[in-house]
Chains A and B, each alone.
Chain A
């Protein structure tokens, strides 16, 4: 799982008000090179929750990102490369993502998060939802 993905993931457990960001439990981190694409980085910069990215990258062992960032920094190659590295090249291979409100662990195995909810956690799990069927 890349930090790009982590920055998008949110706990969707029923009743949770703010499930982002998920806390990270690290067991294994892997680095894999990715081709550089400045367009993509600039596009993503606007979407990224910066603090969550910085915190997550540090947990994965990378401390090069500045605490705060502004769009003007995208002109700097050095900044772009660090942003690129943190966003795309660090992988959580084994570990877990933890809901900030419920402490529910979503396992990450072979780099794949499993975000499936149990029945009692799923907002779609309600008689009202299932019975509101107009077919």
Chain B
């Protein structure tokens, strides 16, 4: 008998051959009951809003954002501000739309999961919309994610899930047979946190258990994509998160060129992910800000420091008809964490990424005394690693 885990789970179509992370096949339109955003006033006033969420989240307003690069701080946080603002809140706000674009199964992940013995318990830390939960019908999956809205989407499908932090998994040691972390660690803003997350993945599997980790690579197959990302510097971060100063420094009329949007409802056609297409003005905006900063780290060539740059904002365009009027998007706009793009009819969010360089993932994992690297590979612009727990 095939073991589904729950009869209520619907089976997702296996498209194969995906595309990770930027190009999405078949953007399927899911009707939602969201109103169009006609009257959102983004006046930049700092309003303390709590996004609609089932989670008792602690939203702290902060005028500036720091990457915790060894800065001593009297105010200690469990989750760095940049992750709260540019990862957690973004995914909470875009969850249904994000989920509708994340359905194709990456073959390498599928291979890993399908290679597991029948009856395995698989832990997916940072499961997102639960794309991989239940992929192998002979295994049982437990997923967790820090985003309650994304977890709700999984639960609606009948998956066994919980809201938890990948840096501190609430799991007994050695319970799982295997664990996966697919496109998660690049959202952690310090090396210490990334290392801890890997430690946790190994901790929660049994001796002899395997862990698959994939992260976005610095070395993107589509180089033009990186040009559409916004590289971060300390100075830029301070300007970005203080909307008033941003308006002073940036060109008075930042007009965004309208780029022909790919048809979102196209079925059976291969489309570029419309959310990864950003205006060329983005690059010019960054150049302008960079030229005004006094102590930008590293040399800027054409507005960005190409060689050492691993910290980025990657845009997500949330169409107005997908965004809630009185929910997360309204708060984000009011707080200056998102911008309206009327020409595209979308709220533009930025997601924080630390993309990994060649060998970085392996270096993080190599110092472990209870796990060894059994495979490492590059695939579709991602660095991937498989660990085996030895003790």
Q: Which residue of chain A has its CB nearest to the CB of B70?
A: A133
B167: chain A residues at CB < 8 Å are 124
CB <8 Å contact, A135 and B193: no
Taken together as a complex, chains A and B put the C-alpha atoms of A113 and B161 apart, in Å, by: 8
Partner of B76, one of A11, A107, A127: A127
Contact B2 A114 (CB under 8 A): no
Tell which of A1, A32, A114, A133 has the most Cβ of chain B within 10 Å. A133
Q: Are A124 and B70 in contact (CB under 8 A)?
A: no
Q: How far is the CB of A100 from chain B (nearest CB, A)?
A: 13
CB distance from A29 to the nearest CB of B (A): 16
Interface residues contributed by chain B, number (CB under 8 Å): 61
Contact A37 B119 (CB under 8 A): yes
CB distance from B57 to the nearest CB of A (A): 8
Contact with B along A107-128 (1 / 0, CB 8 A): 1011111111111001111110
Closest-by-CB residue of A relative to B174 is A47
In the complex, chain A residues whose CB is within 8 Å of the CB of B80: 130
B170 touches A115 (CB 8 A): yes
Shortest C-beta distance, B117 to chain A (Å), equals 8
The B140-198 residues at the A interface (CB cut-off 8 A) are 140, 142, 144, 146, 148, 151-152, 155, 158, 160-165, 167-172, 175-177, 190-193, 196
Across the interface, B165 reaches (CB within 8 A) one of A1, A33, A117, A133, namely A117
Residue pairs across A and B with Cβ atoms less than 8 A apart, 10 shown, are: A4-B140, A7-B175, A41-B119, A112-B148, A125-B76, A130-B76, A131-B70, A133-B68, A134-B192, A135-B190
Which of A's residues lie within 8 Å of B, judged by CB?
A: 1-2, 4-5, 7-12, 20, 32-37, 39-44, 47, 107, 109-119, 122-127, 129-135
